[in-house]
Amino acid sequence: MPSKPHFQLFIDGAWTEGSDGQTMASQNPATGQDWATFACASAADVNRAVVAARRALDDPAWRDMTQTQRGKLLYRLADLIEEHAPELGRIETTDSGKLLAETASQSAYVGDYYRYYAGLADKIEGAVLPIDKPDMHVFTRREPIGVVAAIVPWNAQMFLTATKLGPALAAGCSVVLKASEIAPAPMLEFARLIEKAGFPKGVVSVITGDAENCAIPLTRHPDVDRIAFTGGPETARHVVRNSAENFAVTTLELGGKSPIIVFEDADLEGAANGLIAGNFGASGQSCVAGTRGLVHRSILDDLAARIEKKMQGVIVGDPLEPETQIGPLCTGEQIRKIETTLAAAVAGGAKIRFGGAPLDRPGNYMAPTLVECADADAETLKVEMFGPVMSLLPFDTEEEAIALANGTPYGLGSGIFTENVARAHRVSSRLRAGICWVNTYRAVSPIAPFGGFNQSGYGREAGLDAIRDYTCTKTVWINTSDRPMANPFVMR
C-alpha cells in the first residue's frame, strides 16, 4: 500500500519540517479516513518566517526590483496556477471535500486575480501637492506597508489567498501565508508554484499549525505590519486583540447570514436557481451563503415547491466525480452543529420540508435540507451552519423584507430577485451588506471589491483600492530655494 503524502512548510525559500517535529494528519471528508500528513509550525518557525520576510524587504533582489518586474512575476505565477489547476483542485478536493469541478475551475480562475494585480503593480502612483508655501516642492509616494500576515480558511483557499497575496506582492510587500490547520494541503502545494515563479527568498513563506503555536505568534509578532484575516468572528476577536501588540493594520473578512429577498414579481425559475446556488454551492460552505431566504408570502408555496423539486434531483456523492453536485462537509463537527441547529428550529415551530439528516454512508455527508420557518427567531435563520441548509421565511411588504434582511449582526452578502428595476435600486441601497446581487448570486471578480459590514468584518479585498491597503503614504518636502533655510527662532 503506498505511503500517505506528506506536506512540508515553505519558509525562507526552503522546504522544512517544523522545528519541534510536530505533524498532523489530514482526513479525506469523503471517506472519513486519513489521507495525508503535514508539518506544523512552532513559534520558532513563525519567527523564522517573519524574520525572513523582514529581511526580504531590504534585500536588493526584492527591494530594488521595479514594479513592472514584480508584475511580471505575478503574471508568471498566474500562468503556473492555470497550468497546475487540475492538480491543485484534486488535492483540495481530497483534503476538504469540495467538488473537483469547483476547486479546479476556481484554481484556474484565480489566475485572473494575479493578472489583475500584476497589471496594477506599476500603476501605484503618488501625487504632487499644490502646497501653500513658497519654494517648496511637495509630493507623495506610496511605499510597501511591510510584512503581511495573510491568514486564510480552508473553504475557498485559492480565492482567498489571491485576494491577499496578489495586491500585497504587487505593492512590494513580503508575506507570511498561514493556511488553516484544517485541510492545508493545497496551500502547501501552492507554495511550490510560488517557488517556481521565481520570487526571491523570504518574500513568501507558507506555514500552517494550531492557534497556540502558529496563529498567535504570527499575529502578535512585532515585525508584522499588516494582518489580512479571513475566518470566523470568534477567531477574529483574538486576532484584533493580538494586533494590539504590534499595531498591525488589520482587515477582517468574516462570516455571514446573508439574506436573499424574492419579491412577488420575480422570475420564479431564476429565483429558485439563485437560492439553490446561494445555499448549496460549495455544499453550503461559503461565507456569502444566502441562508436566509425571504420570500413574499404570495409566492412562497410555489417557490418552495419548485426548489423542492430541484432538490429531489440533486446528486450527493463523491466530490471527485463530475456528476456530483453536493459533496461531503469538511468536518464532522459541521454535521453535529447542523443537527443541533435544526432540532432547535423545529422545537421553535419550523418545518423541515426536505432532508434534515446526515446520510448513512462513510464520510461527512449531509442531505440538502429545506426549512420553512414560522418566524424570524428560527435558529436556522441565526446560526451560520456552513452546510447545505436553506431556510425560507415569508414577508408581506417591502419595508418588512428590508427590516428582516437587516435584522442580523452580520452584513456580508445579500440578494434581490425582482423584475422591477426601480425596486432593485431602492432596496439594494438600504441593505446593510457589503455585496448585493440582483437576479444572480455568488458572482465574483478581481475587479469588484469584496467585504462586509457590521460583524462580517471591515476592509475590502479585490478591486482597485485593495492594492492601496498594502501601501503607506510618504510625504516628501523639498526646499527649492537657493537661499539657506531661515532661522527658525525668527518669526515672520
Residues 209 and 115: their CA atoms lie apart, in Å, by 30
Same-domain check for residues 161 and 177: yes
Residue 484 located in a structural domain? no
- We report the CATH number of the domain holding residue 193 as 3.40.605.10
Same-domain check for residues 209 and 89: yes
Residue 485 located in a structural domain? no
Give the largest CA-CA distance in the chain: 87
pTM: 0.95
Contact 220, 245 (CB under 8 A): yes
Contact 206, 188 (CB under 8 A): yes
Residues 330 and 333: their CA atoms lie apart, in Å, by 9
The alpha carbon dihedral of 173, 247, 41, 78 has a sign of: negative
Place of cell 506544523: 40
Nine cell digits for residue 322: 463530475
Q: Give residues with Cβ within 8 angstroms of 333, minimum separation 6.
A: none
Active site residue 323: no
Report the number of distinct structural domains present in the chain.
2
Residue 465 located in a structural domain? no
Same-domain check for residues 148 and 288: no
Residues 80 and 199: their CA atoms lie apart, in Å, by 13
Same-domain check for residues 37 and 112: yes
Q: What is the pLDDT of residue 2?
A: 57
Nine cell digits for residue 346: 423545529
Place of cell 506610496: 142
Same-domain check for residues 283 and 150: no
- We report the CATH number of the domain holding residue 294 as 3.40.309.10
Same-domain check for residues 133 and 161: yes
Residues 384 and 233: their CA atoms lie apart, in Å, by 11
Task: Find the length of the chain.
Answer: 492
Phi first, then psi, for residue 138 (nearest 5°) are -125, 130
Same-domain check for residues 188 and 263: no
CA-angle at 427, arms to 422 and 429, nearest 5°? 100
- How does 176-191 read in b/e, with b if 16+ C-beta sit within 10 Å? bbbbbbbbbbbbbbbb
Same-domain check for residues 121 and 248: yes
Residue 161 located in a structural domain? yes
Say how many Å lie between the first and final Cα of the chain, rounded: 87
Residue 305 located in a structural domain? yes
Amino acid in the structure at residue 107: S
**Taking the C-alpha atoms of 182, 188, 190 and 194 in order, what is their torsion angle to the nearest 10 degrees?**
140
- What are the C-alpha distances in Å from 139 to residues 18, 21, 480? 46, 51, 13
Contact 461, 444 (CB under 8 A): no
Pairing status of strand 23-28 against strand 369-372: unpaired
Strands (E), 279-365: 292-296, 351-354
Same-domain check for residues 56 and 201: yes
Nine cell digits for residue 488: 527658525
CA-angle at 65, arms to 59 and 68, nearest 5°? 155
Closest by CA to 473, choosing from 147, 175, 125, is 125
Same-domain check for residues 112 and 213: yes
Residues 331 and 354: their CA atoms lie apart, in Å, by 22
Residues facing residue 11 across a β-bridge: 14
Contact 67, 121 (CB under 8 A): yes
Candidates 102, 181, 189, 253; catalytic one: 253
**Taking the C-alpha atoms of 18, 23, 28 and 34 in order, what is their torsion angle to the nearest 10 degrees?**
150
Residues 253 and 273: their CA atoms lie apart, in Å, by 26
Q: What is the pLDDT of residue 491?
A: 77
Residue 483 located in a structural domain? no
- What are the C-alpha distances in Å from 30 to residues 53, 188, 383? 37, 21, 25
Q: What is the pLDDT along the chain (492 residues), one digit of tens a residue?
A: 458 999 999 999 999 999 999 999 999 999 999 999 999 999 999 999 999 999 999 999 999 999 999 999 999 999 999 999 999 999 999 999 999 999 999 999 999 999 999 999 999 999 999 999 999 999 999 999 999 999 999 999 999 999 999 999 999 999 999 999 999 999 999 999 999 999 999 999 999 999 999 999 999 999 999 999 999 999 999 999 999 999 999 999 998 999 999 999 999 999 999 999 999 999 999 999 999 999 999 999 999 999 999 999 999 999 999 999 999 999 999 999 999 999 999 999 999 999 999 999 999 999 999 999 999 999 999 999 999 999 999 999 999 999 999 999 999 999 999 999 999 999 999 999 999 999 999 999 999 999 999 999 999 999 998 999 999 999 999 999 999 998 999 876
Place of cell 447545505: 388
Residues 391 and 259: their CA atoms lie apart, in Å, by 10
Residue 302 located in a structural domain? yes
Residue 481 located in a structural domain? no
Same-domain check for residues 288 and 248: no
Same-domain check for residues 352 and 264: yes
- Segments forming the whole domain that contains residue 57: 6-254+452-460+471-476
Q: How many of the other CB atoms lie within 10 Å of CB of 340?
A: 13
3 state DSSP class of 33 = strand
Residues 391 and 70: their CA atoms lie apart, in Å, by 46
